[in-house]
Structure 1
């Protein structure tokens, strides 16, 4: 496994991408774009459905809508990290097309996503922020549509999940940059995320404050409905609507 660019892979597993030769199909991977399809009857593709079912089982929830929401947020965090890390650290953005990026939802980062061969970087003149948005939204937009149609999750809620995932990636990257003395990269990461949060579809999804770095979203990801779940650190709610189900540890920020 190769981490590309190396500096981004050093931040953590969510920022690392498996590359190199091999046959992803023989190892249980499928092109991630296949997971974004939905039938005319509103049934999710097997790839996405398998991931949602696995998340539901892991969280012990019998609500597919809740599992789908958290599946979306988890994959968004992974994709944002792959895009944001190189953008902040090197000024380069990986061009991760859905028809060439392979996904094995049964594996964990960094082995869940695989780009066979050398990774590509954007060469268009859209600027780093524009390239970053493109890399993420070619995945998140069709995944958003599929999740809304197949699992009846609020579209606004899902974009709130995307914003929360972006802010979470930023916190990890920012802390790492500061610890490594890379202040310029830390500042660049904040500027890029701020630009994304100020433009659709993430505009009005929440508020980012730089000092201390924090994000407060305007929607709820539904984690409080998980047995033993609580409120995430950036949740719009001040307390769980169902105290008896919300007792316990708080969810992922």
Structure 2
């Protein structure tokens, strides 16, 4: 069974997010360098480091618009006390750049990103790994799906996801451990709406994905996605439980 979240039913979520502080015009945080085994990776951080971790991954095109595409979602999540990381893979060392970054490498890299999060007290970090939500757009959605194979990922948001052919989509989606939300745009000029939707439904294995489908906006994180994605993250907050060791 597929759960649908159509525009007329988004009103309550939109109202909920509209009550948050008006932060859309605030400049994003500065880029900072995170040292990895491949070299420095630029990241932006939003929200308190002690909050539940959310990592948002940009699309394939190397442009400032693509780097900034997740900013409004990040601001809204930060206002809800999430700790949000937005990496810039376009300016990263060669093995981490779009087109070269593999699923294996992005999964190996993820614990390094998690070191910025302090939801787990430092005295427990050697034995407990932080949980996280991952969201990605287009190529970034594929990378998010790769990361979501990890046991510690409680939820994944796939926005206009470029997942390859049916077999590749099946391989990716079958390994996801947590909840899934998919966002599609009917006039997407890069992905065919109908065939992409059918491919994902066919590869879901009957899992109850949540769906956001909007009429227009193209191949991007459209404004209509912001409130539902934040609400989706809020609904997964209860899954950030790290056991009795704490």
Does TM, normalized by the shorter one, top 0.5? no
Structure with the largest fraction of helix: 1
TM-score scaled by length of structure 1: 0.29
Structure with the largest fraction of strand: 2
